[in-house]
Amino acid sequence: MAIPWFSVLQAVPWGQVIDNAPKVVDGAKKFWSAVASKPATYEGDVVDLPPEVDEGAAVRALKKRLVALEKSNADLHQQMLASSELIKTLADQNAQLVKRIEANRKRMAWLTLVCVLTAAATLAVVVFIFTQHAV
């Protein structure tokens, strides 16, 4: 099970992910600003007309449909606000994750260099000891 995930992670172009992370964060912030600044079309409770109003059946039906559409529009606006806030949060978390991955990549490169130098120094000491005992 771990092998498919490892191959998937290897297939990810991490360089592009790291390069595009700031763009994703900026885009999410702009999207959040645009959505959050727009007021809902109708923010109050939608009230149907009282049945006492003497109007034609067609007008009443149209008003009922209008009320239902206003309710639906208000609900969709609230969902859009919640979705855009989630996108912004995910983009911020993605940026933090990319920073940590980049820091870990640099640490791994440094540790690899230290390990290679340590192995080379150990090999040199072993060769020196064997050459001293051979003489």
118 vs 51, higher pLDDT: 118
Whether this prediction's pTM lies above 0.85 is answered by no
Spatial contact of 37 and 77, defined as CB atoms under 8 Å apart: no
**Residue 95 backbone dihedrals phi, psi, to 5 degrees:** -65, -40
In the chain, what are the domain boundaries? 19-100
CA distance 22 to 94: 9
Sequence-ordered list of residues with C-beta below 8 angstroms from that of 60, at least 6 positions apart, any chain: 49, 53
Residue whose tokens read 């994750």: 97
Q: What is the pLDDT of residue 89?
A: 82
At 4-19, the pLDDT tens digits run 666 666 666 777 777 7
CA distance 30 to 53: 46
At 77-95, the pLDDT tens digits run 888 888 888 888 888 888 8
